Amino acid sequence: MLRETFLFLSRRRALRRWMETSPVAARLTRRFIAGMRLEDGIAVARRLYSENILATLDHLGENVTSPDEARAARVCIEQALDAIAAAALPATVSIKLTQFGLDISDSLCRANVEAVQQKAKRMGSRVEIDMESSEYVDRTLRLVEDLHSANGSLRAVLQAYLYRTHDDLRRLAARRIPIRLCKGAYNEPPSVAWPRKSDVNASYARLARILLDEGEDPAFATHDPRMIDIVLEHAARCGRSPATFEFQMLYGVRRDLQSMLVSSGFRLRLYVPYGDAWYPYFMRRLAERPANVVFILKNLFRR
């Protein structure tokens, strides 16, 4: 019932206009979304860098339905890379393959991704390829492996709640493909994903240890203090220096943990979303996993 409600709300144009212009909604947008424009994302990335925090810029959008929309998404990311270079920021960009045309054709998507990957490589940056729902995993990883072999300069995202991730992680790590490990936020069936939170946590802990043992420049995307402690304990045990891995968090979430990690000398990168597609994006994230509602509301009132 809650899922259907959020999907319904994501299509309400009047509500979207109100959310995007209302002072009442401004606290939410300021806390979790950098703004509507690329300039807003760059401004946030500059401020974060002044606080010794790195950024990955995410121009919001996904599931495009035409080649023109996919090319437009590519242009937006190319502009983001240009702005990152002009500002001399050590930032990356994050993309979703459905935003680059994966639902239309693999070849179209590959051409668009390869264009931004090559641009990122020339400027010494990286493309972080977000993982979407389980139906996209095989096609996403196939493209990641092909493009890594050709150009490098990318990082793949794997989700700890999928049963298959152990095998995927070992395969990608053996090929020296950088990995960002997250728990996963989509509403997946128990046939493909751990249904219980405790099982997801246990899977994340196991995979994090393997990634520290075998991974190339791994990233650990988590706001869970227990998972952070597990990563730090195993990193110390296996002799990983802080320069060889990083933590990643969402912009505006657990700023207390962010400060703790940075002050302790660990590398931290924040996922900074921007763009005028933030409202449908936000509502669909809540629809995919209604438990995210509690997560967002709790973080509205954290420091």
Question: How confident is the model at residue 35, as a pLDDT?
Answer: 86
Length of the chain counted residue by residue: 303
Give me the average pLDDT of each 10-residue run along the chain (303 residues): 58 67 66 88 98 96 89 97 98 96 96 97 96 96 96 96 98 98 90 95 98 97 96 97 95 90 97 81 60 63 60
- What tokens were used for 34? 């950098």
State residue 284's pLDDT score: 60
Kindly tell me the sign of the dihedral angle through the C-alpha atoms of 174, 177, 181, 186: negative
Taking alpha carbons only, the member of 142, 195, 134, 187 closest to residue 165 is 134
Show which residues are catalytic: 130, 180
pLDDT at res. 153? 95
Query: What pLDDT sits at residue 55?
Result: 98
Q: What predicted TM-score, i.e. pTM, was given to this entire model? A: 0.89
Helix (H) or strand (E) holding 120: helix 106-122
